[in-house]
Amino acid sequence: MAQDTLLVCILCRASHTEEVQAGLSEGQSLFNQLQAGLETSDEKYPIRLQPVRCMGACDRACTAAFMAPNKLTFILSQLSPTDAVPDLLQFSHQYMASSDGKVPYKDRPVTIKQKIHAVLPPLPTNP
């Protein structure tokens, strides 16, 4: 079964430091809070949360991406490690419910509308 995935860079350090857990990078803090949110979710099959070590957008921390086979890939940047969490969790439900990842713009949480760095089409499938 294909698995929708939320990648989160755990090495991201934001220059606009907010209140984060002591000693953790902002990216690790974002990852930890998303993990905690998914663990308390009612979703039977929550999105797969995967840590990554740098996505090449270090000057636009924090970074994350939603991806799945046959779906759009959403790359997000300049995410708050605290304020972005509820919207990322909400969008994970919307993304998983969509067959192609095309969650209507009007339905997207504010963070997703504001922090999209790029949207990539699905990879072409073999004939």
Residues that bind ligand FES (CB under 6 A): 9, 11-12, 27, 54-58, 61, 63
Query: Least distance from C-beta 92 to ligand FES, angstroms?
Result: 19
Residue 42 CA to residue 31 CA, distance in Å, equals: 19
In angstroms, give the least distance from the CB of 54 to ligand FES: 4
56 versus 104: smaller Cβ distance to ligand FES = 56
Least separation in angstroms between CB 66 and ligand FES: 16
Q: Given the complex with ligand FES, which of 63 and 92 has the nearer CB atom? A: 63
Tokens representing 104?
A: 């209507």
Query: Which is closer to ligand FES, CB of 51 or CB of 109?
Result: 51
